[in-house]
Amino acid sequence: MISILRPLAIRALTLIGVLIAVLILLVISLGATGFSDNLLRAQVTEETRGLRQTLSQTIRDPAQLERTVAERQTELERFYGLDEPWWQRLPDNVFRVLQLDLGEARQLRTPEGDREISALILDRLPYTILLLMTSTAITAVIGLIVGTRMATRVGSRIDRVMAYFAAVSNAVPGWWLGILAIVVFAYRLDWLPAGGMYSTPPPTGRWDRAVDLAYHAILPILTLVTVTVGPYIYSIRTQTVTASQEDHVQLARAKGLPEGKVNSRHILRVAAPPIVTGLIFSFTGALSGAIIVETVFNWRGMGRLYYDAISGTPDEGLIVGLTFVFTLIYVISRFILDILYVLLDPRVRYD
């Protein structure tokens, strides 16, 4: 057990290093390009303008007003660190992001009216996880069932049809498929809602709200599954066919083992690590697709929050926080993949 835990601990530390490196590169890119300073100066200017309007009601002397506003502006610049070069603020910024201590969002709020960036992200995170986990589970089930069947019918008509479907599924844009689903199922057939997470007005009971949320999640999940299931089916088919041609599989069949045992013990067991790899990577790849899908369906998850953060007046703190959380999810997924590799294939050991 210790021989396994120690390498996994080293892998975890390595992935944490990757997370911190991505975070540092993000902060450096925002600082070196002047984007961070420009946003902070815009924030100071906006607060100074509001202060001027407030003080003008009580201070009638223009000279005194300008002097008071200038002092307040200097204090704000010192508060935001604009009196120092951006590279001197780098360690503090990285540490704050790791704690999700990013202050308040400029315009966005939680349903309770909280403007804290950490509260905003934690409010939206469960809804994105709901979409990704559900679509990934459906993709896994369909991929395993259809992919393994295709592996036993190589070259058949169904095999060629699924190959074409995999190519189309991989190539079709998620936003286009989402719009098409809205047109067909929401407007033409009037079967499903076109967007949002709840009906108007929303249900009040907990069970009714859960059912209504699931009802509104059907089209976004259907879109995510459609753009990911084709490549995953073909990946399982390819891995299964490759494993079925190994010598140990031919030997098992020569011994007269039932085909079910041959498939489960000698084919799928060998093909399991690359199959799981494809599933985990399809989950992490769906993170970027969630930005588009959630925007199309007005699903209030992290993807839609990312879109709102970069549209209009960019919110630097929110962008950095969301990038950190997306990277954190990727790092966690990679670590889970490392653990699954050890469990699925005892021959795998990390040095």
Average pLDDT over residues 69-95: 73
User: CA-CA distances (angstroms) from residue 106 to 45, 49, 51, 74?
Assistant: 13, 15, 17, 21
User: CA-CA distances (angstroms) from residue 110 to 40, 118, 297, 301?
Assistant: 23, 10, 19, 12
* pLDDT of amino acid 170: 78
What is the rounded CA–CA span in Å between residue 151 and residue 139? 17
- Beta carbons within 10 angstroms of residue 312's beta carbon: 9
* pLDDT of amino acid 172: 82
Please report which confidence band the pLDDT of residue 313 belongs to, taking 50, 70 and 90 as the band edges: low
Average pLDDT over residues 189-199: 85
Q: Which residue has the higher pLDDT, 316 or 310?
A: 310
* pLDDT of amino acid 347: 56
pLDDT at 79 over 80: no
Quote the tokens at residue 333.
Answer: 């997924």
What is the rounded CA–CA span in Å between residue 168 and residue 230? 8
Mean pLDDT of all residues belonging to the chain? 78
φ, ψ (nearest 5 deg) of residue 83: -85, 0
Beta bridge partners of 116: 104
What is the rounded CA–CA span in Å between residue 231 and residue 166? 5
CA-based max dimension of the chain:
101
How many DSSP H helices and E strands does the chain contain? 13, 0
Tell whether omega for the bond before 201 is within 30 degrees of 0, i.e. cis.
yes
* pLDDT of amino acid 308: 84
How far, rounded to the nearest angstrom, does the alpha carbon of residue 15 sit from its chain's CA centroid?
Answer: 17
φ, ψ (nearest 5 deg) of residue 4: -90, -40
What is the rounded CA–CA span in Å between residue 317 and residue 329? 19
CA atoms within 13 A on the CB side of 12: 9
What is the rounded CA–CA span in Å between residue 259 and residue 247? 15
For 228-255, write each residue's pLDDT tens digit: 888 888 888 887 777 777 777 777 777 7
**What's the whole-model pTM score?**
0.73
* pLDDT of amino acid 345: 62
Q: How many residues does the chain have?
A: 351
What is the rounded CA–CA span in Å between residue 188 and residue 338? 46
Q: Which of 76, 79, 89, 75 is nearest to 36 (CA)?
A: 89
Quote the tokens at residue 262.
Answer: 């041959």
- Cβ(327)–Cβ(25) under 8 Å? no
- Beta carbons within 10 angstroms of residue 7's beta carbon: 16
For 110-167, write each residue's pLDDT tens digit: 878 777 888 888 888 888 888 888 888 898 888 888 887 777 777 778 778 888 888 8
- Cβ(163)–Cβ(302) under 8 Å? no
* pLDDT of amino acid 33: 66
For 30-78, write each residue's pLDDT tens digit: 666 666 676 677 767 777 877 777 777 777 777 777 788 788 878 777 7
What is the rounded CA–CA span in Å between residue 122 and residue 128? 11
For 325-335, write each residue's pLDDT tens digit: 888 888 888 77
With tokens 């223009």, the residue in question is 62
What is the rounded CA–CA span in Å between residue 209 and residue 238? 42
* pLDDT of amino acid 85: 74
Interior angle at CA 239, CA 233 and CA 240, nearest 5: 85
* pLDDT of amino acid 235: 81
* pLDDT of amino acid 4: 63
What percent of the chain has pLDDT above 70? 85
What is the rounded CA–CA span in Å between residue 108 and residue 124? 12
Give the least confident one: 14-18, 97-101, 201-205: 97-101
CATH of domain 124-344: 1.10.3720.10
List the domain boundaries for the chain.
2-98, 124-344
pLDDT at 346 over 60: no
* pLDDT of amino acid 348: 54
Radius of gyration over alpha carbons of the chain, in Å? 26
Residue 104 DSSP SS3: strand
